[in-house]
Amino acid sequence: MKVSYGLSTIRLTQTEQEFWFDVCDALKVVDLLETNQFSAQRVILKKKSGRKVADLRRGGLYLIPDCPYDVKLPVPAESADFFSGYYFKYTPKVGDVVFDVGAYCGEMTLSMAHKVGPTGRVISFEPDPDNFRWLQENVERAGLKNVTLIPRGLWNETTVLRFAVDANVGSHVSLTHQFKATREIEVPVVSFEEACRLAGAVPNFVKMDIEGAEVEAIQGAKEFIRAHDIRFAIASYHQRDGGKTCAILEPLFRELGYQAETGYAAHLTTWASKR
């Protein structure tokens, strides 16, 4: 992989393919190359001057597996196949109601919207205003009518929290991380029970990736979750109290009468259901 730097663009060249990145993403690009995590699998390439080029500067297009939609992302996509992790135990069916909690720019939102079809519903929660704008754009570009977008995060109660915004590490509730972020804002958050009220439904399936706040989101709705039959797939590789959140989530779900299991090393995920 050859790397060349211009005033505004970083170019990675591989055989007859070129990948263009904004210089603002230099640290991310270096990290991808050093950890060997750059993957061209999902990148959409277009012919330019006889070469196949992927222009990933502030809005690169990426494919979504087994889905007719593509998605625009503001920074290079992670190489891990998180789709397979979330769907490992259960794949949403036509007519399902599903939640995308921590929707980011909409990769899982678009994937699930395709799977549940026009008779199903996807309700997506994303508190970061910048991510929410990308999410809106992607849903509108796909022409989806079965998606509801809610600019809220999930927590153990309905309130307003300090929210750390950092493009390199992922946006998150400030209370769940120790490092100093690029900037902080205030965002509205709701309990899981309140999220269901806003959606007007209890979901069949919940995908959740909220940078460590999954612990509070589940703890704050224990009796509500105990009373319902919901399938969860939660990104649980986040660090809390010296360990990964899966170590907290598994016993928590079992206490609520759910079966719980963690796996899929490429994107550690905790699955929970009553059957």
SS3 (DSSP) at 28: helix
Instruction: Decide if 240 contacts 176 (C-beta within 8 A).
Output: yes
Instruction: Decide if 98 contacts 205 (C-beta within 8 A).
Output: yes
How far from 166 is each of 97, 186, 241, CA to CA, in Å?
31, 14, 21
How far from 152 is each of 22, 45, 131, 210, CA to CA, in Å?
29, 34, 12, 11
Taking the model in full, what pTM does it have?
Answer: 0.89
Taking residues 155-182, report their average pLDDT. 68
Q: What are phi and psi of 190, to 5 degrees?
A: -130, 160
Third-level CATH fold of 80-273:
Rossmann fold (3.40.50)
| Domain ranges across the chain | 2-58, 80-273
Identify the pLDDT of residue 80.
85
pLDDT for 24-82, tens place per residue?
Answer: 878 877 777 776 666 677 888 888 878 899 888 877 899 999 999 999 998 878 778 99
In this model, does residue 123 exceed pLDDT 70? yes
CA gap 220, 252 in Å, rounded: 11
Question: Can you tell me which residue has the tokens 């977008």?
Answer: 149
CA gap 146, 123 in Å, rounded: 9
pLDDT for 144-164, tens place per residue?
Answer: 999 999 999 999 999 999 988
- Three-state SS across 125-180? ECCCHHHHHHHHHHHHHHCCCCEEEECCEECCCCEEEEEEECCCCCCEEHHHCCCC
Instruction: Decide if 240 contacts 178 (C-beta within 8 A).
Output: no
CA gap 39, 27 in Å, rounded: 16
In this model, does residue 167 exceed pLDDT 60? no
pLDDT for 41-50, tens place per residue?
Answer: 788 888 887 8
